[in-house]
């Protein structure tokens, strides 16, 4: 993903595979090294230097969900943890039983890859964003299209339901984020991000604000922005990353913001002032393509080629699990006990390592 909805999630970070698929964010699976932070422009405040922790195996997969014909590049858990939704380069999305692995529905209709997905808070609707520049809302039980949301001019890289399920948020490579009425499909407002294509979007826990994370363009710099949901006005601009912002998330209490970047770092910011609080530095400078807060708000997870667990207050690395390989769209169940991600043309569910 990506819409906190009381659960951990990777904020619809389908942006990480921008370098893999050329057009942007399809899959969060790029595993090459990020460009080093430019000299002379260190992040502020300067992060303390911690010794890296050894990489340990992630453990046996609980379930492998087989059925897609091409790579799975977007994944979401339902709020109750009973279902997993996957989006694929085979132009379909699929809904699965998260405990048995049984395929429940296949959503067919997009003309190109389904690169972002979300399940509504009540579990009755499914949301998909596609390389075909459209967004579709589906009935989760019947598999039928309820609405087709048209208005974006380029691929829709990130989608989210508001915590109350009344709004839909979409972010696109056309530099625009859009808010829609989730029940009527009416376009409510559009915000133009003037710094580049949008890789990731997320709602605050109360739904009153939303986040966008953008890629780099020649005339701009990578930024995350905070917007007022009701007015569509920009509240904050978070500057500090030197490469594209791949993933964004609010903390469970809404007081902090977490961003991941192609510069090999993740950062925590004060959501009211925009002040940078902590920088998490990947010692190998791989692209950080997924980020998530744990439910306690005291720990975070970042994903590159391994899953890294950190102390959210100090930036100290706690555990490093992997290698995970080419995992796309890593997300977490609401209780944080399981995580799921795309692994080539399948999706895999693991138990979250008992590290906290």
In CATH, what number is assigned to the domain containing residue 320?
2.130.10.10
Can you tell me the distance from the alpha carbon of 78 to that of 220, in angstroms, rounded to the nearest whole number? 36
Q: What pLDDT, in 10s, does the model give residues 148-159?
A: 999 999 999 999
Question: Does any domain span residue 266?
Answer: yes
DSSP β-ladder status, 135-139 and 125-130: antiparallel
pLDDT-based confidence at 15, cuts 50/70/90? very low
Q: What pLDDT, in 10s, does the model give residues 175-214?
A: 999 999 999 999 999 999 876 899 999 999 999 999 999 9
Q: Determine the pLDDT at residue 22.
A: 29
Question: Does any domain span residue 351?
Answer: no
Question: Does any domain span residue 97?
Answer: yes
Question: Does any domain span residue 356?
Answer: no
Can you tell me the distance from the alpha carbon of 177 to that of 99, in angstroms, rounded to the nearest whole number? 34
Range of the domain at 146: 18-340
Percent of the chain's residues with pLDDT above 90: 62
Of the CA atoms within 13 Å of residue 53, those in its CB half-sphere come to 17
pLDDT-based confidence at 138, cuts 50/70/90? very high
Question: Does any domain span residue 349?
Answer: no
Can you tell me the distance from the alpha carbon of 149 to that of 264, in angstroms, rounded to the nearest whole number? 34
Can you tell me the distance from the alpha carbon of 57 to that of 177, in angstroms, rounded to the nearest whole number? 38
8 A C-beta contact, residue 315 and residue 31: no
Question: Does any domain span residue 153?
Answer: yes
Can you tell me the distance from the alpha carbon of 153 to that of 77, in angstroms, rounded to the nearest whole number? 28
Question: Does any domain span residue 24?
Answer: yes
Question: Does any domain span residue 5?
Answer: no
DSSP β-ladder status, 167-172 and 156-161: antiparallel
CA 25 to mean position of chain CA atoms? 10
Q: Give the number of domains in the chain.
A: 1
Q: Which residues pair with 347 in a beta bridge?
A: 65, 342
Sign of CA dihedral 265, 266, 267, 271: positive
Is 18 a residue whose pLDDT tops 60? no
| Whether the predicted model's global pTM rises above the 0.75 cut | yes
Can you tell me the distance from the alpha carbon of 104 to that of 101, in angstroms, rounded to the nearest whole number? 9
Q: What pLDDT, in 10s, does the model give residues 305-353?
A: 888 889 999 999 988 887 666 678 888 888 888 888 888 899 999 888 7
């Amino acid at each position: 993903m990506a819409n906190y909805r009381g659960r951990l999630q990777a904020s619809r970070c389908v942006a990480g595979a921008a370098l893999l698929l050329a057009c942007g964010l399809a899959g969060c699976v790029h595993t090459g090294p990020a460009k080093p932070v430019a000299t002379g422009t260190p992040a502020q405040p300067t992060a303390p230097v911690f010794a890296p922790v050894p990489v340990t195996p992630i453990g046996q997969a609980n379930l492998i969900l087989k059925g897609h014909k091409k790579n799975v590049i977007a994944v979401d858990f339902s709020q109750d943890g009973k279902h997993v939704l996957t989006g694929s380069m085979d132009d379909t999305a699929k809904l699965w039983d998260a405990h048995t692995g049984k395929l429940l529905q296949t959503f067919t209709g997009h003309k190109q890859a389904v690169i972002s997905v979300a399940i509504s808070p009540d579990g009755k609707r499914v949301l998909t964003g596609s390389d075909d520049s459209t967004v579709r809302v589906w009935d989760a039980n019947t598999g039928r299209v309820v609405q087709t949301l048209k208005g974006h001019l380029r691929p829709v890289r990130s989608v989210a339901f508001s915590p109350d399920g009344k709004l839909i948020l979409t972010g696109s490579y056309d530099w625009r984020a859009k808010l829609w009425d989730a029940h009527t499909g009416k376009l409510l407002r559009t915000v133009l991000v003037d710094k580049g294509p949008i890789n990731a979007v997320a709602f605050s826990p109360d739904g009153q604000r939303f986040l966008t994370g953008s890629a780099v363009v020649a005339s701009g710099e990578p930024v995350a922005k905070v917007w007022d949901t009701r007015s569509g006005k920009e509240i904050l601009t978070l500057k500090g990353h030197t490469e594209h912002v791949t993933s964004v998330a609010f903390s469970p209490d809404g007081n902090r913001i977490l961003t991941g970047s192609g510069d090999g770092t993740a950062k925590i910011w004060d959501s009211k002032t925009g002040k940078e609080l902590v920088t998490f530095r990947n010692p190998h400078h791989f692209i950080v393509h997924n980020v998530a807060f744990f439910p306690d708000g005291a720990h975070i997870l970042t994903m590159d080629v391994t899953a890294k667990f950190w102390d959210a207050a100090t930036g100290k690395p706690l555990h490093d699990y992997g290698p995970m390989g080419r995992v796309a769209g890593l997300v977490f169940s609401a209780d944080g006990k399981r995580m799921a991600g795309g692994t080539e043309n399948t999706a895999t569910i693991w138990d979250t390592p008992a590290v906290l």
